[in-house]
Structure 1
Amino acid sequence: MFEEAIKNYLEEKGYNKINLKAVLFDMDGVLFDSMKNHAKAWNKAMSIYGMNLSEEEAFMHEGRTGASTINIVCTRERGYNASEEEIKKIYQTKSEIFNSLPKAEPMPGAYTLLRNIKDSGLQPVLVTGSGQLSLLDNLNHHFPGIFQKEFMVTAFDVKYGKPNPEPYLMGLKKAGIEANEAIVVENAPLGVKAGVAAGIFTIAVNTGPLPDSALLDEGANLLFGSMLELSEKWDSVKNEMCR
């Protein structure tokens, strides 16, 4: 299974091989089981402002900027974009609700996978749409010794969010590598679309309620049902890539 997916990717991109040097990770829904909290917060916040965004639909918007998500819903429900002031109010409400929910736990299998990657000499790179000021502290608490600030792409580093490829192209730039020297690990359709658009071999992990087709239709090269499954099969994936 791995061999065919890698062969198809190489043929499509015209590469001789994947010379793996780094693994680019999304955060919410990949490293932390946090997307269900984001979905609840979006649902409740939109309801407060008289709009409807179901929890399942929130998973489909994962990776967009907050303003983009708000405007998509506002345009659909009201027929026009929200003002900058209203965007700030809605996003502030969403953030307050999110922060009131129980803290998300790390995804099972995530630290084992990260440790394996780090110990094998590969560079873990974080690519997230988050702009939390405490991001590095939180990562260091749960995944000690894995991430470095210079190998992190956050909301402050890019102009466009996913599905635009800019976040993953910035990840390549920070790591000093080319597209055929990395892989992406994503859980969201828009994140998969961004990784594929950046020309990077993209592994999807379906950690949410969406059907597998939502990820495969965006071009995921491989699909796993959880981070634990990916962690358990990582050596086989890596060995196939580095043959």
Structure 2
Amino acid sequence: MRADAFLAAAAALPVRALREIVPAGGIVVVAPHPDDESLGCGGLIAEARALGVPLRLVVVSDGVGSHPNSPSHPPERLRTLRESETLAAAAHLGLAAEHVSFLGLPDRFVPDSGPDAEAAAEAVVDAARACGAAALFVTWAHDPHCDHRASAAIASLARDRLGGIRLYAYPVWGWTLPPETDVGPPPRGARLAVSHRRAAKAAAVAAHRSQTTDLIADDPEGFRLEPAMIARFVEGHEIFIEVAP
């Protein structure tokens, strides 16, 4: 199926309540970078915490690839900043700091196989067991970013080890795919209505100031989320695509 048709179908998936998407048990959100959790799953996290659903967040990469040439924010400082931004975002969503894990794999070089990927998958397994998870949520395997694809592979490894757990994908950069890209069969899954969580989600996205403002202004190649993309992700629904075993 072409990417344009797939994404249009995904945007029309049926709207389900959280406990229809994950009928029982906890949830693990796997984010390739600090900020993906707020963009793709901020509403889900806020809804889960408001309902008392146990949830863990696992951030896979260190995020230092966003500003690789900044004199003011060398890698270690940027890593610390991005972790603190993530904890601030999590707080806006009702998630305590002790329920957030940072794996610290290298931004832009997250492995999809081998010992480091296996260790990352085991960390996801540990998070799932800690909250009695019945579902994992990770970025879409067709997102055009190597770390997003690798994180999808890591979550798949974790799902295999857990057995019987559901796996859902949330698109982040998938919306930028060339329309003719083949992405496989039509989507199955659901949309979660998050309008009532919009303020919390918007605050969480804004907490990632290094990605949404000119906080780091001394890297001409530095990354910044465009307002149009931010607006897309604070709309009324989040999309979760079922990933077949």
| Same fold, TM-score > 0.5, yes or no | no
Instruction: For CA contacts below 8 A with separation 6 or more, give which structure has more relative contact order.
Output: 2
Q: Could you say which structure has the larger radius of gyration?
A: 1
| TM-score for the superposition, normalised by structure 1 | 0.33
